[in-house]
């Protein structure tokens, strides 16, 4: 794994877009919490608002896998990262 000029540019753009999405998500999730429409039917779950926790986890997983794509020098590992970004965003 290494970072060249193109990887650094791609990683910078990805990080700025992640920051924008995360800042928007904070407001969005706050509005969802105020609306009181939580659909947590299973009381054994560790999160009070489970869908929001899944969203935050997938958002962080997306950032991690996009970082893997940007720093990967191995084509197979890069392909795994691209597929993982698809799985993280399709949830």
Return the structure tokens found at 44: 């054994």
- Backbone dihedral angles phi then psi of residue 48, each to the nearest 5 degrees: -75, -40
Per-residue pLDDT at 35 exceeds 90: no
**Which pTM was predicted?**
0.74
Query: Is there a contact between 57 and 65 (Cβ–Cβ < 8 Å)?
Result: no
3-state secondary structure (DSSP) of residue 82: helix
CA distance 55 to 16: 19
Predicted local confidence at residue 67, as pLDDT: 93
Predicted local confidence at residue 50, as pLDDT: 74
Q: How confident is the model at residue 32 (pLDDT cuts 50, 70, 90)?
A: confident
CA distance 55 to 90: 11
Query: What mean pLDDT do residues 12-40 have?
Result: 82
Higher model confidence: residue 74 or residue 52?
74
Nearest to 2, CA basis, from 83, 79, 84, 74: 74
Query: What mean pLDDT do residues 82-91 have?
Result: 88
């Amino acid at each position: 794994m290494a970072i060249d000029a193109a990887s650094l540019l791609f990683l910078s753009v990805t990080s700025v877009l992640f920051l924008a999405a995360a800042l928007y998500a904070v407001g969005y999730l706050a509005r969802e919490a105020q609306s009181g429409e939580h659909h947590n039917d299973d009381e054994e779950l560790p999160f009070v608002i489970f869908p929001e926790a899944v969203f935050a986890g997938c958002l962080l997983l997306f950032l991690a896998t996009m970082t893997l794509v940007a720093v990967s020098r191995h084509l197979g590992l890069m392909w795994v990262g691209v597929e993982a970004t698809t799985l993280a965003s399709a949830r």
